[in-house]
Amino acid sequence: MDRWRTIIEPFRIHSVEPIRLTTVEERDAALGAAGWNLFNIHADDVLIDLLTDSGTGAMSRDQWAAIQHGDESYAGSPSWFAFLESVQSLFPFKHVIPTHQGRAAEKILFSSIAGPGKIVPNNTHFDTTRANVEATGAEAVDLVIAEGRDPSAIHPFKGNMDVAALDDLLTARPGDVPVVFVTITNNSGGGQPVSLENLRAVRAVCDRHDVPLFLDGCRFAENAWFIKLREPGQADRSIPDIVREMASLADGMTMSAKKDGLANIGGWLAMNDDAVAERCRNVLILTEGYVTYGGLAGRDLEAIAQGLREVVDEDYLRYRIRSTAYLGEALDRAGVPLVKPFGGHAVYLDARALLPHIDPLQYPGQSLAVALYREGGIRGCEIGTVMFGRHPDGSESPAAMDLVRLAIPRRTYTQSHVDYVIEVVAWVAERAASLTGMRIVQAPPALRHFTARFEPLPS
Ligand code: F0G
């Protein structure tokens, strides 16, 4: 298995999409028009799009074939039953509620169980998860272990929850915590996995305090692969078996099928509790659709059902995690500061360490992300003070870290694309001292990173 060093993509290309090559001048113009916000750039003006791994992967031949089986019956479609069977084969929760994507599942769940005075702990909330908790008037707290907040700390499971801190919170706020969440893998903390041992410990604390435990399962298969590789005693288990154990430790989950569902859209909310499921289904019917399709077409349900079978394939997961590490290792050799160990779906550049001359409130992550786009047409995503620095009361403070995430769409780019990314990032990093900070000139009150407009500060 490990005889050859070269990581080959375990697929051949069946259909191609053109990439439009652009010049620095064209990208400068695009940046000005976009208010230096990469979310505002026309995707045709991007060469290598590493903005997100969400919904951007390539589907397989068998997924496209499954789409042809899509049955668009309003109620009780065979495609719904195919989806249900596929979800429950990995996550045997009693109730599965289909949604158009992950945040819809979050919105439905938190509007049913959170609210003013409540507090929701998570290892680290993803931005939409936090926003959906806060939108109900509840508080969102992040309780990842200390190593998970330190970009350079080496730990095999940096996504783990701080179990003692969780126990303290549940003791201090009895009755105020409607659910404990664990995000696998911990996206906002660098795509870091959570161990089975940690999940078992979190489960035990939740049991002691009689609070349900939910998984944010977006990248469950990547998390399971890390468990197989890194957790003592797990090497010989199959991925579906590890996934089912993760599920067995929880009372429910939210899921974005745009990640490890290998689909372009979709998600679900699942749980064992009958009463909460009933409340959630009522909201679902109001906001998403009938209970057997949620916000999805029958064809989407089919694509997800097939995607879930493919994502637990070991050849795929080995390639997926190795090829992300290939990018990380090359950037590390080039001296670029990074979050380590490398995440499953992304490599995170430590912009605060690379740009110590830029104050966190002048957004070093945004500055670096803009430079990568300007120089090489690479679109990454700031995960730092722009995304997390503004609080519900309107105040602003530096986020825990200022990172730029280079997220790798699944099965989409080849090794030469990644080699190009390595060359561009290393070039920009060598000239980091010449980058300047940014200023926000316009921003909405919540989730400002999507629509804020910026201006570069003079050097
Ligand atoms: N939870 C996590 C951990 C996520 O990474 C995401 C999405 C969501 C929930 C929400 O799911 O997008 O389907 O509504 N993350 C994407 C990203 C957007 O780029 O990391 P969604």
- Both 154 and 177 in a single domain? yes
Provide the residue range defining the domain that includes 372.
Answer: 24-53+313-456
Do the beta carbons of residue 140 and residue 133 sit within 8 Å? yes
* CATH code for the domain of 37: 3.90.1150.10
For the cut 90, the answer to whether the pLDDT of residue 333 exceeds it is yes
Together in a domain, 378 and 398: yes
Least confident window among 37-41, 98-102, 157-161, 442-446: 442-446
Q: How far is the CA of 400 from the centre of ligand 1 (A)?
A: 19
pLDDT at 393: 86
Residue nearest atom 11 of ligand 1, based on CA coordinates: 102
CA 130 to ligand 1 center in whole angstroms = 11
Ligand 1 centroid, distance to 179 Cα (angstroms)? 19
Mutate to test the pocket of ligand 1, among 56, 256, 287 (most ligand atoms within 8 A of CB): 256
For the stretch 209-263, pLDDT in tens is: 999 999 999 999 999 999 999 999 999 999 999 999 999 999 999 999 999 999 9
Q: Which of 38, 103, 185, 379 to mutate for ligand 1's pocket (most ligand atoms within 8 Å of CB)?
A: 103
| Res. 440: pLDDT tops 80 | yes
Burial class, 334, CB count within 10 angstroms (exposed 0-12 / middle 13-18 / buried 19+): middle
User: 248 and 161 in one domain?
Assistant: yes
Q: For residue range 61-94, list pLDDT tens digits in order.
A: 999 999 999 999 999 999 999 999 999 999 999 9
Average pLDDT of 339-356? 95
Structure confidence at residue 1 (pLDDT): 56
Measured by CA distance, the residue closest to atom 21 of ligand 1 is 102
- Whether residues 248 and 341 share a domain: the answer is no
> What is the C-alpha separation between 295 and 306, in angstroms, rounded?
18
Look at residue 38 and tell me if it is in a domain: yes
Sheet holding 267-271, edge to edge: 95-99, 267-271, 252-256, 213-216, 180-183, 119-122, 139-142
Q: In whole angstroms, what is the distance from residue 218 CA to residue 110 CA?
A: 17
- Tell me which residue has its CA closest to atom 4 in ligand 1: 126
213 in Cβ contact with 251 (< 8 Å): yes
CATH assignment at residue 227: 3.40.640.10
Distance 172 CA to ligand 1 centre (A): 30
Q: Which atom of ligand 1 is nearest to the CA of 186?
A: 3
Same domain for 401 and 357: yes
Phi and psi dihedrals of 182, rounded to 5? Answer: -125, 125
Q: With 90 as the cut, is the pLDDT of residue 189 above it?
A: no
| Rounded distance from Cα 212 to ligand 1 centre (Å) | 22
Regarding beta strands 381-383 and 180-183, do their DSSP bridges make them parallel or antiparallel, or are they unpaired?
unpaired
How does the average pLDDT of the chain come out, rounded? 96
Sequence-distant (≥ 6) Cβ neighbours of residue 409 within 8 angstroms: 49, 50, 52, 53, 56, 57, 58
Claim to verify: residue 317 and residue 290 sit in the same structural domain = no
Q: Whose CA is nearest to atom 19 of ligand 1?
A: 52
Q: What is the 3-state secondary structure (H, E, C) of 190-239?
A: CCECCCHHHHHHHHHHHHHHCCCEEEECCCHHHHHHHHHHHCCCCCCCCH
Number of structural domains (the chain) is 2
Query: What CA dihedral angle connects 287, 105, 397 and 393, to 10 degrees?
Result: 40
The predicted-structure confidence for 375-430, as pLDDT tens digits, reads as follows: 999 999 999 999 989 988 889 999 988 999 999 999 999 999 999 999 999 999 99
As for ligand 1, residues whose beta carbon falls within 6 Å of it are 52, 54, 101-103, 126, 128-129, 183, 187, 216, 218, 256, 258, 267
Indicate whether 418 and 285 sit together in one domain: no
- pLDDT tens digits, residue range 90-123? 999 999 999 999 999 999 999 999 999 999 999 9
